[in-house]
Chains A and B, each alone.
Chain A
């Protein structure tokens, strides 16, 4: 996060999510730096082009099964562009 105000906001949202028993997914994760920062804050779910670009639905499972993404299986949400 280049913006110094961003991290405290992320931390607060994650803490609030935990307190309210909500899952929190970080969207738009585009860089490794952001991924590591989010991991450091124990953000368990992320989405963004760093993990993968939108795919046709029929290719999603193969993509995941190939193991080319680190995908926590039981808590994951697949998003597919259905085209």
Chain B
């Protein structure tokens, strides 16, 4: 409900994303058995070229193994700047995190994304 408001407010959504990511990794790292934790990324966060380095830093800081973290992206994030998006997703996969395409089959999700991008999950 508040996310559209946060998205309009410059910088707020990226701060929120950073906080959610950090909190999710801290929580997941504290659980005694491996449970994957999934975190949604906003467009602003996804388009930040520092995202892969930032994710790697959070994993390092929290001690969470990369494959316990799943990052969710949606179709609209992939519409423009396809090459850039692919580069970002590959960099994230390189770190070892899992990538899922959220809201598949609704709104702006194209079958071609499944061919073009390295998703683990829909």
A contacts, CB < 8 Å to B: 9, 13, 16-17, 20, 22-25, 57-58, 60-61, 64, 73-74, 76-80, 82
A17: chain B residues at CB < 8 Å are: 122
A9: chain B residues at CB < 8 Å are: 105
Contact B122 A80 (CB under 8 A): no
Number of A-B contacts (CB under 8 A): 59
B residues 16-37 with Cβ under 8 Å of A? Answer: 19-20, 23-24, 27-28, 30-37
B contacts, CB < 8 Å to A: 19-20, 23-24, 27-28, 30-38, 70, 100, 104-105, 114, 119-122
B19: chain A residues at CB < 8 Å are: 82
CA distance A60 to B38 in the complex (A): 13
Q: A24-B121, A24-B122, A77-B70 are in contact. Are A13 and B105 (CB under 8 A)?
A: yes
